């Protein structure tokens, strides 16, 4: 079973404690600080559209891209229900193909790049983004930090029993290639009260801040800022989410 297949249909329920409204506000604050004039946006690894949909409702012309057909099914369903037209593209961003130049903004939120396991693939993506962005464009993305993947998630087991979903999540950190293997098992209650079980295996790469900054510089980005945990402060040793703000 590939990543974010069956999991797609319960993703939003498991993410219901994430404050996406605050996340959107944070992104817009960054755009304002950078004096970025943003009308069109390409969002990479958009998932079920939790960032995409609110931005489209606010009037941005946004395209969402994701490798998971199932995550996009959920995204399309939500946008149809609300009556907002959004173009969603099913694509592996490691071979990003998007022939629209002059983008105002490219986004990738909530770990999208942690799923890119190899430097060379991250470099491919950054290169493509660099060339598709307009001169004054802005590239904003976040990653779960090396600290979070090694010290908080690494080699830990989590479990939770919710009303309709029970899950176990076992992690194994591999220091040879700095990857975190996550073994997820879900039990989802159907309308008759019977539980269906399924597994997914996810792998995330733990990147150090400077590894990413170096690749960004290599491909040409010259203005790179980093912020820790939704603040406007530099990341600290125990920062869990690092947001990168990049310009040419
Ligand atoms: C944690 S989810 C984040 C989804 C969304 N950005 C959000 O904020 O809710 C990570 C997403 O990355 C996508 N993803 C992972 N590898 C990808 C790849 N190579 N190309 C495109 N999308 C990918 C997954 O399918 C999943 O939807």
Task: Place 150 in a pLDDT band, splitting at 50, 70 and 90.
Answer: very high
Which pLDDT score, from 0 to 100, does residue 21 have? 96
Q: Which one is the CATH code of 148-205: 2.20.25.110, 3.40.50.150, 3.30.70.360, 3.30.390.50?
A: 2.20.25.110
Q: Distance, CA 43 to ligand 1 centroid (Å)?
A: 10
Q: Which backbone phi and psi does 48 adopt, to 5 degrees?
A: -85, 15
H or E element in which residue 49 lies: none
Reply yes or no on domain 8-145+208-247 having CATH 3.40.50.150: yes
Partners of 105 in the β-ladder: 41, 138
Which pLDDT score, from 0 to 100, does residue 45 have? 98
Which pLDDT score, from 0 to 100, does residue 143 have? 98
Q: What is the pLDDT of residues 178-219, one digit of tens each?
A: 999 999 999 999 889 899 999 999 999 999 999 999 999 999
Domain ranges of the chain: 8-145+208-247, 148-205
110 lines ligand 1 (CB under 6 A): yes
Q: What is the pLDDT of residues 62-109, one digit of tens each?
A: 999 999 999 999 999 999 999 999 999 999 999 999 888 899 999 999
Rounded CA separation 103/99 (Å): 10
- The pTM is what? 0.97
Q: Distance, CA 231 to ligand 1 centroid (Å)?
A: 23
245 lines ligand 1 (CB under 6 A): no
- Indicate whether 144 pLDDT > 80: yes
167 lines ligand 1 (CB under 6 A): no
Burial status of residue 109 (CB atoms within 10 A of its CB: 0-12, 13-18, 19 or more): buried
Which pLDDT score, from 0 to 100, does residue 108 have? 98
216 lines ligand 1 (CB under 6 A): no
């Amino acid at each position: 079973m590939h990543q974010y297949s069956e999991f797609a249909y319960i993703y939003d329920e498991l993410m219901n404690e994430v404050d996406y409204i605050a996340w959107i506000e944070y992104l817009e604050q960054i755009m304002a600080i950078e004096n970025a004039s943003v009308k069109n946006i390409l969002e990479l690894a958009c998932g079920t559209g939790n960032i995409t949909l609110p931005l489209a409702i606010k009037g941005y012309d946004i395209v969402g891209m994701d490798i998971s057909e199932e995550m996009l099914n959920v995204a399309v369903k939500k946008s149809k229900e609300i009556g907002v037209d959004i173009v969603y593209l099913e694509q592996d961003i490691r071979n990003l193909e998007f022939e629209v130049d002059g983008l105002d903004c490219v986004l990738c939120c909530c770990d999208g790049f942690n799923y890119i396991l190899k430097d060379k693939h991250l470099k491919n993506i950054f290169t493509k983004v660099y060339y598709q962005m307009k001169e004054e464009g802005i590239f904003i993305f976040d990653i779960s930090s090396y600290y979070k993947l090694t010290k908080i998630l690494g080699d830990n087991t989590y479990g939770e029993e919710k009303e309709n979903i029970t899950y176990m999540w076992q992690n194994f950190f591999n220091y040879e290639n700095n990857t975190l293997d996550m073994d997820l098992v879900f039990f989802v209650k159907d309308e008759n009260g019977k539980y269906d079980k399924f597994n997914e295996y996810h792998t995330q790469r733990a990147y150090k801040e400077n590894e990413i900054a170096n690749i960004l510089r290599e491909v040409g980005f010259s203005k790179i800022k980093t912020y820790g945990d939704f603040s406007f402060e530099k990341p600290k040793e125990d920062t869990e989410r690092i947001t990168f703000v990049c310009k040419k």
